[in-house]
Amino acid sequence: MDNIAGTKSSLGWAVNIAVVAMVLLWIIPTVGLLVSSFRDRDAISASGWWLAPFATEQSYRARAGAEGVPDGDAFVVTGNIFDEAGATGSLSAFGVRGRAPGEFPVGTVADLGDGETLTMQANGDYEFRTPEEPDGRGQRIYFLAETPPDFTLENYDTVLGAGGMAQAFINTLTVTIPATIIPILVAAFAAYALAWMEFPLRGVLIALVVGLLVVPLQLALVPLLSFHTQTASFLNWLFDPDAIFNETSDLWVGDYEGRSFVGVWLAHTGFGLPLAIYLLRNYMVGLPRDIIENARVDGATEFQIFTKVILPLSFPALASFAIFQFLWTWNDLLVAKVFLPDGDAAMVMTRKIADDLLGSRGGDWGILAGAAFVSIAVPLLVFFTMQRYLVRGLLAGSVK
Amino acid sequence: MKNLMGGAAAIALMSGAAFAGGHLPIEPGSGDYDWTAYDEFAANTDLSGQSLSITGPWTGDEKAKFDAVVALFAEATGAEAEYSGSDSFEQDIVIAAEAGSAPNLAVFPQPGLAADMAARGQLSPLPEGTSEFVAENFAAGQSWVDLGTYANASGEDELFGMFYRVDLKSLVWYVPEAFEENDYEIPETMEELIALSDQIVEDGGTPWCIGLGSGAATGWPATDWVEDMMLRTQPPEVYDAWVANELSFDSPEVIGAIEAYGQFARNEDYVAGGGETAASTDFRDSPNGLFEVPPACYMHRQASFIPAFFPEGTEVGEDVDFFYFPAFEGQDLGSPVLGAGTLFSITNPSDTANAFIEFLKLPIAHEAWMTQGGFLTAHGGVNADLYADDALRGQAEIIQGATTFRFDGSDLMPGEIGAGAFWTGMVDYTTGASAEEVAAGIQERWDAIK
């Protein structure tokens, strides 16, 4: 009888610690991603994100200038290596071979053989002496430098500034919003019928829906797309006088196309329905029978019961499914690739990021992290606005 | 280092944005391009109001370069042409074709996959006269015709593929400066190459960078290694028999080649982290090790297209160079060269699709990409001065100097093997499975689809 409402569990502290630990565990990768999204590619490969706020030692390579000033029987090249390398920081060591970039400590005069010497200061000033007049490219210099932490908005600039990104953002919304609303509409009706209306084979239908939950959507890609193309072909034949008959594919080609936004909405609806019906039905079946019977006694029709009683009470379940479906369609790449036409006009953000931004630069972690944050901004917004419906008391006030 | 890498993103971005404005990257009439044939083509072809869709494996920077070619076609014909690239092209095109929603043209990186689709009746033959054109105008023309000719659904041979971009695979990339600093010599034979690798290990370095990652196509760089090794340990006839599966995949000759590759990739001294790391590194990232300070590796065996993935500002010939992946002196097999290429096929016939194939016969369609770099062509009518750098001209010379030229074997095998079992098998081998086991598994898959 420990868990009577109103009494505090004696293990409350353990629960708190566990919760804090779980939250940290979940949040750490996200923080890492956020920090990485503000660092450039070199910085990311040089040190972990947890070291980002501290100065790091990085190795650079640059060339000394090629203009020598005669000094006695030698030529002297002077300049600042940070200017040549486009870097900032404090130089700690230098070298002339890639294998040993920090061969000589700062301030020393390095003997490079053949009468050549090189000396460098912490601020990057160098003096290179050579008995022969320098020609062509200048002397190669490697150096290690303490680099102050450097955060940049360049990744976001790349992601947001990519040609067609705004269009891709709109396209993603065009896919996501109907693909969230349509299944909820359909599933709410179906769930009510399966939960509260008496008709034959109801149990079989429910079992069928549960069975569909385990069918992988990859299995349905080709048949479904084929169905869409044939439907489009039929519509072309029916409505489109300009449609051309293509003998190789036995299809009418015209204004209606198998791969379209409507197609992707229908696909997402189909793939989302089993879970939606299952979730909503289980929720609705748990609503108190008294309310529904009261409504029946008062003379409400089934449709009135559904709209006036069930829907408002089911709002938390609808909202939670809406969040699921929204996140899944927002992040989807596969369904969009298969069911949307190719080309910029119908390119969604996931595809833009995967094929256009990352296609040839698979390992650009900074861009990847930036793109991740750009693409989760909207789902986060949706989650935080809808989230209060999730925590709102489920049946508060409806039953006395 | 920093400024080498730093601008990469910005430049690639700018090149992408430039096309959005809709003006031509190469103005007709300018430069040393072949404009006569182009003008003639433009005068004879009017496709205003029609559209053309092309899909292929080129994404990002490569897409931007090909977009310039497509723009010229659109300018000449008035057609609305759009190319879209996909990182998982091999899967996407199969789904689209099965469902009847294929684009007009597809750019196959894999003749094997194109042959599969031709046999299923999903490709349409190229316009009449194309095979004669290719045979006459391409260097080693007949071999390119043969490589693009497959059996159609009723078993008759027809030309389905026209080769456009050719890659040379037997290349080792290195940083000349790193070699100079350590007094390393360019190896002339495989024995010298192995001795050099050992020397680098002795000096405390890591000789090789190998990366097999490539999204859904992970594993293909390893198949190139094995094919190169096959050509260097066995005569070309054995290679041909292997590709046609007349020689079983688990025969000692093949296992020997796989193990010759393993001597490099599974050697933790040769590759940082050994096979496990090689298998999980993206092929696009792995050459970056050459440019790190201190160098993470000294050599990288990869095809001619790889400079597209080097850090921005890297000059081929100055900052990085290549040498021929040498043959064993002891084997007396001459100097074999492995190559590959992408081919255009018609997946959804239309006038615009035929017109684009005609357009690809014009030198300008090749020259427009040649000048942008990262492109080799077999077309004999192009102006070789237009190659973006000496490196590409040098690669053209390697092809000429080859005693044996063989096409990438995995591209010729059936899609299920060459774009499936072989790839995954090589990932398994690289991460520790035995060569016999992997080869037997691939042969089993091959038997299953016969």
Chain A stretch 156-195, residues whose beta carbon is closer than 8 A to a beta carbon of chain B: 158, 161-164
Whether A245 and A201 map to the same domain: the answer is: yes
> Checking phi first, is residue B109 left (phi over 0); if not, alpha (psi -120 to 50) or beta?
alpha
A251 touches chain B (CB under 8 A): yes
Average pLDDT, chain A: 84
Q: What single-letter amino acid sits at B397?
A: E
Interacting residues of B57 by C-beta distance below 8 A, sequence separation 6+? B85, B86, B87, B89, B90, B107, B109, B342
Residue B3 has pLDDT above 60, yes or no: no
C-alpha span between B440 and B262 (Å, rounded): 17
Question: Distance from B313 to chain A by nearest Cα, in Å?
Answer: 13
Whether A41 and A100 map to the same domain: the answer is: no
Asked if the structure places residue A92 within a domain, the reply is yes
φ/ψ of residue A286, rounded to 5:
-85, -5
Longest CA span, chain A: 113
Q: How much of chain A exceeds pLDDT 70, in percent?
A: 91
Question: Among all residues of chain B, which has the CA nearest to that of A162?
Answer: B13
C-alpha span between B288 and B272 (Å, rounded): 13
Q: Are B389 and B373 in contact (CB under 8 A)?
A: yes
- DSSP, res B419: I
Question: Among all residues of chain B, which has the CA nearest to that of A346?
Answer: B84
Question: Using a CB-CB distance cutoff of 8 angstroms, which residues of chain A are in contact with residue B296?
Answer: none
Question: Half-sphere exposure of residue B53, counting CA atoms within 13 Å on the CB side?
Answer: 16
Residue B22 has pLDDT above 50, yes or no: no
Q: Which CATH architecture has domain B171-335+407-449?
A: 3-Layer(aba) Sandwich (3.40)
As for how many domains chain A has, the answer is: 3
Give the mean model confidence (pLDDT) for residues A305-329.
Answer: 88
C-alpha span between A257 and A243 (Å, rounded): 11
CATH of domain B23-160+339-394: 3.40.190.10
Please state the domain extents for chain B: 23-160+339-394, 171-335+407-449
Cα-based torsion angle of the residue sequence B407, B408, B411, B416 in order, rounded to the nearest 10 degrees: 130
Q: Which of B375, B430, B185, B174 is nearest to B287 (CA)?
A: B174
| Cβ count near A139 (within 10 Å) | 18
Whether A45 and A189 map to the same domain: the answer is: no
A59 touches chain B (CB under 8 A): yes
DSSP A283-337: HHHTS-HHHHHHHHHTT--HHHIIIIIIHHHTHHHHHHHHHHHHHHHHH--HHHH
Interacting residues of B425 by C-beta distance below 8 A, sequence separation 6+? B219, B438, B439, B441, B442
Whether A82 and A61 map to the same domain: the answer is: yes
Residue B409 has pLDDT above 60, yes or no: yes
Average pLDDT, chain B: 85
Q: Are A309 and A399 in contact (CB under 8 A)?
A: no
What does the pLDDT read at residue B32?
81
**For residue B44, with 0-12 CB atoms within 10 Å meaning exposed, 13-18 middle and 19 or more buried, which class applies?**
exposed
Cα-based torsion angle of the residue sequence A85, A89, A90, A94 in order, rounded to the nearest 10 degrees: -30
Whether A86 and A37 map to the same domain: the answer is: no
Closest partner residue to A222 among B10, B98, B124, by Cβ?
Answer: B98
Q: Which residues pair with A109 in a beta bridge?
A: A119
Pairing mode of beta strands B171-174, B321-324: antiparallel
* Strand runs labelled E in B133-241: 149-151, 157-159, 162-168, 171-174
Q: Which of A63-72, A176-185, B32-41, B324-333 has the lowest mean pLDDT?
A: A63-72
Residue A58 is inside which H or E element, if any? strand A56-63
SS3 call for A47: coil
SS3 call for B283: coil
Domain enclosing residue A106, as ranges: 56-147
Closest partner residue to A360 among B6, B61, B182, by Cβ?
Answer: B61
What does the pLDDT read at residue A116?
83
Residue-wise pLDDT for B203-235, tens only, equals 988 999 999 988 778 999 999 999 999 999 998
- DSSP, res A363: T
Question: Among all residues of chain A, which has the CA nearest to that of B11?
Answer: A158
Question: Among all residues of chain B, which has the CA nearest to that of A342?
Answer: B84
Whether A305 and A221 map to the same domain: the answer is: yes
Over its C-alpha atoms, chain A yields an Rg (Å, rounded) of: 33
Q: Which of A181, A133, A121 is nearest to A321 (CA)?
A: A181
Most confident of A189-198, A336-345, A350-359: A189-198
Mutant choice from A339, A348, A356, A357 vs B, greatest count of B C-beta within 10 A: A356
The encoded tokens of residue B354 equal 């035929």
Q: For residue A208, what is the domain's CATH number?
A: 1.10.3720.10
Asked if the structure places residue A4 within a domain, the reply is no
The encoded tokens of residue A74 equal 């030698």
Residue-wise pLDDT for B165-174, tens only, equals 888 889 999 9
Residue-wise pLDDT for A221-277, tens only, equals 899 999 998 999 899 889 888 888 877 667 787 788 888 999 999 999 999 999 999
Asked if the structure places residue A172 within a domain, the reply is yes
**For residue B426, with 0-12 CB atoms within 10 Å meaning exposed, 13-18 middle and 19 or more buried, which class applies?**
buried
Q: Which of A20-29, A191-200, B23-32 has the lowest mean pLDDT?
A: B23-32
Whether A291 and A189 map to the same domain: the answer is: yes
Alpha carbon distances (Å) from B433 to A277, A339, B216, B380, B438? 46, 38, 20, 45, 7
Binary contact (A221, B95; C-beta < 8 A): yes
Domain boundary among A123, A147, A171: A147
Question: Among all residues of chain B, which has the CA nearest to that of A368?
Answer: B9
A7 touches chain B (CB under 8 A): no
Q: Which of A29-43, B6-20, B59-73 has the lowest mean pLDDT?
A: B6-20
Give the mean model confidence (pLDDT) for residues A290-312.
Answer: 90
Q: Are B266 and B259 in contact (CB under 8 A)?
A: no
What does the pLDDT read at residue A396?
42
Asked if the structure places residue A152 within a domain, the reply is no
C-alpha span between B239 and B408 (Å, rounded): 10
